[in-house]
Amino acid sequence: MYTEKVYVYNIYMSNPNSFQSNKNKFIVTIARMNPVHPGHMRVIKKLIEVAVEEQVNDVYVILSQTIDKKNPLYCDYKKNILQLMIANTDQIKSVNVNIICSKNPYMSINPIVDKLFPEPLRADIIIVVGDDREGSGNSIQKFYKRGMVTEILLSRSESSARQSKLSSRESTLSATQIRQLVTSSDYPKFYSIYKEHLDESKIQELYASLQNGLNIEILDENVNTPKNTPKNTSKNTPKKKAQSTKKIRGGAIRKRTKSKKRY
C-alpha cells in the first residue's frame, strides 16, 4: 500500500463495539521544522499521497513551539514559511494542509481528534515522520484508545529522493545542516537550497531571522556573502535582554547589578 517502511499498532479499545467503522482517518505529522526546509516537502507530499488514497480532504502538521539554541524561530513564523512553500508546490493543492502550533504536539492529538470525530465515532491515526522520529506511532498508542495507529517512516536516502521526485540533496537535508550554513555565513548555498521554493526577499528574511535567533554577529558582510545578504533582524526570533552598563574611571565598562538589601 505504502512505498515506505510502515508500522501498524493495534490499539486496545475499552469498548470496541461502541465505535463505528474505521472510515475516519486522522493523517498527521509531528515536527520541529526549525527551520522549515525543502526536505520537509517530502513529508508533506507523503501526507497528501496518503490522504488521496484514503479519500480524506484534510491533513495536519503539528509544529513544536520549543525555543532554544537548536530551535531559534517562533512557531508562527515557521508556519508562515511552510504555508508559502506549500503554496509554491503544485502537487499539494488537492488536499487542505492544516498547520497547528503546540507546546506538546503528541498530547494535542487527542483534543483535535475528539473535535473532528466526536465519540462514539472510531478514528484511526496515520502519522508520517522522518527516520529521526521513528517510534512516534508507539508514543501515540500509549495514550490513544479510539482506533488504530499506523506509522509511515520516511528515510533520508537517495533512492527515497527519486521516489518522491526531490533532488538527493533536498531529500537528505536536515534543519541542523541549514543552521550550520547560517553559522558559517554561507548565504550563497543557503540561497541555492531555497530559491525554487521561496522568493528572494523571503529567503533573505529567513536567513536574517536565523542569524538573530542563533545570536550571530556579522563582522564583515562582504565575507562569504553576496551584496544582498540580509542583516540581522529580531522580527521573527526571541529578543535578547539588554544588559545595563555604566562607565567607570578610565573608560572601562562594567555591568550594573542590583544592590542586595541588608536585613
* DSSP symbols for 202-237: HHHHHHHHHHHHTT---S-TTSSS-TTPPPP--TTS
Cα–Cα distance, 64 to 102 (Å, whole number): 5
CATH of 5-162, one of 3.20.20.30, 3.40.50.620, 3.40.190.10, 3.30.70.141: 3.40.50.620
Q: State the residue for C-alpha cell 522568493.
A: 199
The pLDDT tens digits for 83-125 are 999 998 776 677 999 999 999 999 999 999 999 999 888 899 9
Q: Which three cell numbers stand for residue 133?
A: 522520529
Cα–Cα distance, 21 to 159 (Å, whole number): 36
The pLDDT tens digits for 143-165 are 898 889 999 999 865 434 444 44
CB 128 within 8 A of CB 92: no
Q: How far is CA 134 from CA 88, 192, 212, in A?
A: 28, 29, 31
The pLDDT tens digits for 192-244 are 999 999 999 999 999 999 999 998 765 434 334 444 455 555 566 665 554 44
Give the domain ranges of the chain. 5-162, 174-239
- Asked if the peptide bond before residue 38 counts as cis, ω within 30 degrees of 0, the response is no
Instruction: Classify strands 149-154 and 124-130 as parallel, antiparallel or unpaired.
Output: parallel
The pLDDT tens digits for 44-72 are 999 999 999 999 999 999 999 999 989 99
